[in-house]
Amino acid sequence: MEILKRPMGDYQTNCYIVKIDDKEIIIDPGMGATEWVMANVKNPIAILNTHGHFDHVWSNSELQSQLNIPLYSPKGDIVLMQSSTWMPELPPSTPDIAVDGDKTLDISGIEVKFHHFPGHCPGCSMIEIGDAIFSGDFLFEGSIGRWDFPYSNAESMRESLQKFAKWTIDKPLYPGHGNPTSVRAEQRNVDYWLRIV
């Protein structure tokens, strides 16, 4: 498995391309992602969103149209993908597959697991593919997603952190912003964040 990353737009939102067995999965195509994605895929099979905030979904509809491949997004965030109070010019997008909660999917023979961790937003999820987990805006290196935005929920964030603390696997985490980290590294910070949220 090969992972390509490019920070996109003013918010430097990480767009990822995951290459497995001559197939590619695109994760969180943000602002201005289309040109980079098109230059780096040969056999794309799906677009995935970790959540619905504008800086992660901006290029969804453009890539759906150009590549004619399905978009998988958390069901709870569809409303955020349709319009944005922060960015009224957001190109609206609609998932072909709305992923509800924790789900394991088979996408062209590749196992993809959506792990639902609401709090930052209703549909906020981490996506596990092979030995990598794409944590979106739930977890960053030494930090977590904000819980004071519209549609955020502090109690849901606390429950999500408690759920994450019980994970027994350790894999690399590739966040929506910043540098990679790992499950174990961020589990060490959970008690601190539970006191803050």
- Mean pLDDT value across residues 67-88: 94
CATH number at residue 9: 3.60.15.10
Q: Which amino acid, one-letter code, is at 91?
A: P
Rounded Cα distance, 176 and 66, in Å = 24
Instruction: List CB contacts of 183: < 8 A, sequence separation 6 or more.
Output: 133, 167, 169, 170, 171, 173
Alpha carbon 176 to its chain centroid, in Å, reads 7
- Number of folded domains in the chain? 1
Structure tokens, 99? 């992923």
Q: List, for residues 97-153, the tens digit of each pLDDT value.
A: 999 999 999 999 999 999 999 999 999 999 999 999 999 999 999 999 999 999 999
Q: Is the pLDDT of residue 86 over 90?
A: no
- The helix (run of H) or strand (run of E) holding residue 185 is helix 183-187
In the prediction, which pLDDT does 84 show? 85
- DSSP letters along 114-177, please? EEE--SSSTT-EEEEETTEEEEETTEETTEE--S-STT--HHHHHHHHHHHHT-----EEEESS
Output the pLDDT for position 167: 97
End-to-end Cα separation, the chain, in angstroms: 36
- The answer to whether the CB of 56 falls within 8 A of the CB of 33 is no
Residue 176 in contact with residue 13, Cβ under 8 Å?
A: yes
> Does the pTM exceed 0.85?
yes
- Give residue 28's domain range: 2-196
CB 132 within 8 A of CB 69: no
